[in-house]
Every structure is written in C-alpha cells, then in structure tokens.
Structure 1
C-alpha cells in the first residue's frame, strides 16, 4: 500500500508539473496572440495603403498617377481659360477616370465636355481643327502651370508648328488672338505655317521661298 501511495503521489506531482507548464505555455500563447492581433491590425492598414499606392484599386491608379493626375487637373484648368475663348464657349477639357482599355491604368486620360450637348465625350471625336485648338490650349496651359510651380522659371518662347490650316476663318482668328495676347504679355511667339492669312496678322516674318535653284529665306517686317 505504501508503495502504491508513493507512486500515486509521484504521478500527481508529475502531472501537476505538466499542468503548470501547460498553463505557462497557454499564458504565453495568449500574450503572443494579443501581440499578433495588434500587429495584424497595424500592418493590415499599412498593407492596404501599400496596395492602394501600387494601383490595387478599381481604377488601377497608383500613387504616382494620382499625383500626376492632380497636376493634369491644374493643366486642364489653365488650358480651359483659352479653349473656352477659342471654341466660343463650347468645349472644356476635363480628366476622366474611365480606362481606355480594360487592362489599362486610369487617371491620366482627358475627355471633352461639350456645352452644346451638355455631355462629355472622348477627345478622339473632335475634328482636326478642334483637336488643334485643344492641343494648343493644353500646351499653353502646361506652360502656365510649369511657371507657377517652378517659381523662378520663365517660359518666354513658344513655337507652334502647323495646324492652322485645319481651322475655319473664325477659329483661326480666335487662335491668333490668343497667341497675340501672349506676345503682348512679353512672350516670344513663333509660328510655322503655310496659311496665307497669317501673313496679314504677323508683323515680323521669316519667309522661305522655294525656286528651281533652291530655297531662299528672308525677313519681312510689316
């Protein structure tokens, strides 16, 4: 009996030690579980932010494209100040979040809002002359935004190559007025064109004439 009692006491002690160890392990597991939960919550937010910044969103818009999109908004606003005049109040450029292709990234595409129809449409629907006016407005708007962001940088020279031949007389007049206004503001505006009507509006010209003996160039003032 004594031997059995001693054996039972020893077994009880062994089990008590095991239970104490398991309780200690359980306590540590609970502590680790709490820390893991807090870590998951913390890194879950950071992970979601990383996914959004890398373009894992509805528009596949990365952080870089978001910043560029904000700059594009500023360019469009500056461009619309001139496009409104040159299009006689009809068109306004605006950024669209629609993607041109299903697998393409979004956020850096433009569309045109037509005040005549009250709806927006793709810039590809513009005519050749309208496209030229929109492009000219964007170029001038970009120059304005670069100057405003850069501070000390001044874009004093603008060179426009062709495109005037696609304009009707009234649109041509609006485009020339916009360029002359820039000239009055102190900028040097150069135009490369074959449109005869421009000769009447440009005081200082470098005319290039082609003959059977080659090409000649001469300055004309007035």
Structure 2
C-alpha cells in the first residue's frame, strides 16, 4: 500500500514537472512567434523602402523626375478642367489622361466608353481647350496670387460650323456670368452680333489700320 502511494506521488510529481516544462515551452513558442512577427514587419518595411528607393532611382534617372512631376501636374490640371468641361457638355463628356500623358474622352452617352479627343466636334473641342486653358490660368493666378480675372481668346472660330459656333457663344456667356473679362480676337462676323462691346480693325490702303469702336457707332 505504501509502495503504491509512493508511486502515485512520484507520478504526480513527474506530471507537475512535465506541466512546468510544457508551460516553459509554450512561453518560448509565444516569444518566438512575437519575434517572428516583428521580423516579418521589419522585413515588409525594408521591402517597401527598397521599392521606394528603386522608384526614386528611376525618377532621377534621365528625365524620369520631370516626367513624374509633369504627370502629376497634368492630372491635376485635367481634374480642374473637368469641373467645367463636364458641365459645359451637360454631363456627357469628361477628359482623362492616358498612361503616356495624352488626353482621351470618356463618353457617358455611349456607356462610358473612352475615345480619342480627335473625335470631338468643333464646338466640343473648343469647350475642352477652353476648360484646360481656364484651369491653367486659375492655377497660375493662384500661384502668383493675382487678382486679375482677364482672359484672351485668339481666333480658332473660323473653321467652326454654325452649330459649333452656337456652343462657343453659349460657353462664352457662362464665363461672363463668372465675372470674367473675356477678350476675343476673331474674323467671324457672327461674333460681332454676340459681343456688344467690340473693336473692329479695318485695313485702309491709304491710312493703314483703322479702329472702329462699337460704343461710338
């Protein structure tokens, strides 16, 4: 009987020792897992840093950095121009930048498919060009902190059909509602009917260029 009790005590002691060893092993495993997680985290950071270094290396190689900056600026310009272009086309068209920094058009009247800017009509091309030009002017005005709100359009209307000219006129009227001073240089007669205050430059064989002011006629 005493022998049996002694054996049971020895067995209990052995199991307790085994439990201590198991707890110690579990602790070591947890510490190893934590260390492994930290190593993996550090490795991911190193990989990300390495990728950034490779990106910076490619940017500073040749004209890479200039292309990178110009791409960002062009995208910002496109986004700003779209605020106007999308409204002018009555939510039908928007401009996008291709991977090689060219413009393309997304046509929401054709299931949102993209197409070349060369497929735009004369009036739509004017709206796109004007939207980009105004976005650029606004950006320059913001950088220089200028209070001037004057914009000049030099020709570009002679090859437009009547429908496209109507789009141009409507677009210019929206600029007037924005309190922008818009100057237009054109040989198109219809322009005079739409613009109240204008100067007419006429060539006289004897006296040279003559200036006629609409408000004096």
TM band (smaller chain):
0.5 to 0.7
- 1:53-95 Cα shifts (integer Å, max 9, x gaps): 2469xxxx93332332222222212222332344343321111
Distance 1:180 1:81 in 2: 17
Structure 1 length-normalised TM = 0.62
C-alpha displacement at 1:193, in angstroms? 0.8
- For the pair 1:81 / 2:77, whether they are aligned, the reply is no
Distance 2:88 2:56 in 1: 43
C-alpha displacement at 1:191, in angstroms? 0.2
C-alpha displacement at 1:212, in angstroms? 4.0
Distance 1:144 1:46 in 2: 33
Q: Which runs of 5+ in 1 are unaligned?
A: 1-40, 98-105
Matching residue within 44, 52, 59 for 1:53: 59
Q: Which runs of 5+ in 2 are unaligned?
A: 1-45
Matching residue within 128, 136, 139 for 1:134: 128
Distance 2:122 2:164 in 1: 12
Matching residue within 93, 96, 110 for 1:91: 93
- Aligned residue-pair number: 169
Distance 2:88 2:158 in 1: 15
CA RMSD of aligned residues (A): 3.2
In the TM superposition, what are the counterparts of 1:110-149 in structure 2 within 5 Å?
110-117=103-110, 118-148=112-142
- For the pair 1:196 / 2:198, whether they are aligned, the reply is no
Query: Is the partner of 1:194 in helix, strand or coil?
Result: coil
In the TM superposition, structure 1's runs of 4+ consecutive aligned residues that sit over 6 Å from their partners are none
In the TM superposition, what are the counterparts of 1:206-221 in structure 2 within 5 Å?
206-213=199-206, 214-221=208-215
Structure 2 length-normalised TM = 0.63
Structure possessing the higher relative contact order (Cα contacts under 8 Å, 6 or more residues apart): 1
CA contact (8 A) 1:86 1:171 kept: no
Q: 1:173 to 1:85 in 2, by over 3 A?
A: farther
Distance 2:86 2:163 in 1: 14
**More helix per residue:** 2
Distance 2:87 2:166 in 1: 11
Query: Is the partner of 1:165 in helix, strand or coil?
Result: coil
Query: Is the partner of 1:153 in helix, strand or coil?
Result: coil
